[in-house]
Amino acid sequence: MSDAHNERHGYAVRYLADLVGGDIVGNDDVHVTGINRIEFAGPGDCTFLSNPSYAKFLSVTQAGVIIVSRALLTNELPSGRTYIITDDAYRGFVLVMQKFFPPLRMEAGLRHTSATIHPSAVVDSTASIGPGCVISEGCVVGPRAQLFANVVLYPGCHVGSDTVIHANVTLGAGTHVGQRCLIHPGAVLGADGFGFFENPDGSFEKIPQVGTVEIGDDVEIGANVAIDRAAVGTTRIGNGVKLDNLVHIAHNVDVGDNTAMAAQTGISGSARIGKRNRFGGQVGMVGHVATADDVIVEAQSGVSKAITAAGAYLGSPAKEHRTALRLEAALRQIPRLLQDVRDLQRQIDEMNKTSS
């Protein structure tokens, strides 16, 4: 499949249909110059329909091309439009997005003149080092890695091949990042964990944090995420993990493969997260407890003890989803029940007065 066009000039619908593995219905000479949501798309745009609740826009959208999931073809499509019919319209649209908006990359092998690279560091010839970067002694930067402006690697860090680290990220000493990772601006990996003991007079004394951080392959870490180094040993983030902005992972935590955590989640020290867990926004988890594989913890829930079975959990403290909903329903009845009790008490008081 030749890429006769590019993101600047757009793509023929036939090219996009081949890209997503779909069939064209309508005019196969349409040229696509952009992408947009179905409500806002214009004549040169490609959009998609994978959710039946958006089918109402089919008759009014101005989109030049609409990618439609095959499962939604229960009704006749409005005429006069061009469609790409595929098994998964959303996945197809993502492929089109990637064509129009390829990842930002620096020139292969770039060494900006303002970067500082220690003589003992090993930086692959195809890696790109942006302005203001600091690569300390003993660091290793793998093939095709990209370090954007002001990335700082403390001594002994390893960055795997094809990993992209955006501006103002700091890796503390000894931090290891795997292959094909994406780290967004402002993240700090390998700062000291929050470790102190209290003296008899109430003051605090710092506990040295001498462990490391290990990031697996294919991990994405959002902006301003903090992953603390272990007190001793390793804070580990498994392969395929996705961390949203402002997530905090404390010292000695172990996050299982393919787990995802939404923004402002906080995991306390030495917690163990199973594989394929899903944590909603602002979930909190106490230290030294664990979750099983395939656990979902819904937004703003608090995990205060181990979760030993797969499933969805809600509330603070987190409870099995259905149990939490029943408790919530019961709580909503308390005002009425209290009023009923007061009414009964008044009736009893009146009966007592009458009998006396």
Sign of torsion over alpha carbons 116, 120, 122, 125: positive
Q: What is the DSSP string of 71-118?
A: GGTTSPPPSSSEEEEES-HHHHHHHHHHHHSPPP-PPTT-B-TT-EE-
Beta carbons within 8 Å of 116's beta carbon, 6+ residues apart: 133, 134, 135
Q: State the amino acid at position 7 in one-letter form.
A: E
List residues with catalytic annotation: 251
d(Cα 310, Cα 305) in Å, to the nearest integer?
Answer: 14
* CB burial readout 25-36, b (16+ within 10 A) else e: bbeeebebbbbe
Chain length of the chain: 356
Tokens for 274, please give them. 């199973």
Instruction: 340-348: list long-range contacts, CB under 8 Å, 24+ apart.
Output: none
Question: Tokens 């959303």 identify what position?
Answer: 90
Residue 133 is classified by DSSP as -
Structure tokens that stand for 109 in this block? 């092998």
Beta bridge partners of 158: 140, 176
